[in-house]
Amino acid sequence: MEKLMRENSNFEVFAAPSEYGIHEKRSLRLIIIELVYGLAGFLGSMASGYLFVGFNDRYREGTVLVGCSIACYAFCLLYSIFVLTVPKAAASCPDKAKSAEEVGSQLPAHKEAAGSSQPSESSSSTPISPSKLIIVMLFVAAILYDLAVVGAMNVLPLFLLREPLSWNAVQIGHGNAAGYVIFITSFLGVFVFSKYLRDITMIIIGVISFSAGILIMAFVRWTFLFYIARAVMLFALIPLPTIRSVLSKHVEGSSYGKVFVLLQLSLVTTGVVTSTLYNKIYQNTLNWYSGFCFILSFLVGCLTLLPLSIVAIKQRSTTGSLQILTE
Exposure on the CB side of residue 267, measured as CA atoms within 13 A: 27
The answer to whether residue 165 sits within a structural domain is yes
* Residue numbers of the domain that contains 153: 2-82+128-326
Reported pTM: 0.73
The answer to whether residue 114 sits within a structural domain is no
**Which of these, 213, 217, 72, 100, lies nearest to 155 by C-alpha position?**
217
The answer to whether residue 100 sits within a structural domain is no
The answer to whether residue 289 sits within a structural domain is yes
The answer to whether residue 107 sits within a structural domain is no
The answer to whether residue 270 sits within a structural domain is yes
Residue 100 has a pLDDT of 46
Q: Is 287 exposed, middle or buried (0-12, 13-18, 19+ CB in 10 A)?
A: exposed
Are the beta carbons of 245 and 19 closer than 8 angstroms? Answer: no
CATH number of the domain residue 231 falls in: 1.20.1250.20
Cα distance between residue 182 and residue 173, in whole Å: 15
What domain count does the chain have?
Answer: 1
- Per-residue pLDDT 10s for the chain (327 aa) are 344 334 444 544 544 554 544 455 666 777 777 777 777 777 776 666 666 666 655 556 667 777 878 888 898 888 888 887 766 655 444 444 444 445 445 545 444 444 444 444 444 444 445 578 889 999 999 999 999 999 999 999 999 998 888 998 788 888 888 888 898 899 999 999 989 999 999 999 999 999 999 999 999 999 999 999 999 999 999 999 899 888 888 887 667 778 888 998 999 999 999 999 999 999 999 888 999 999 999 999 999 999 999 999 987 876 454 444 444
The answer to whether residue 78 sits within a structural domain is yes
Are the beta carbons of 259 and 251 closer than 8 angstroms? Answer: yes
**For 155-177, what is the HEC assignment?**
HHHHHHHCCCCCCCHHHHHHHHH
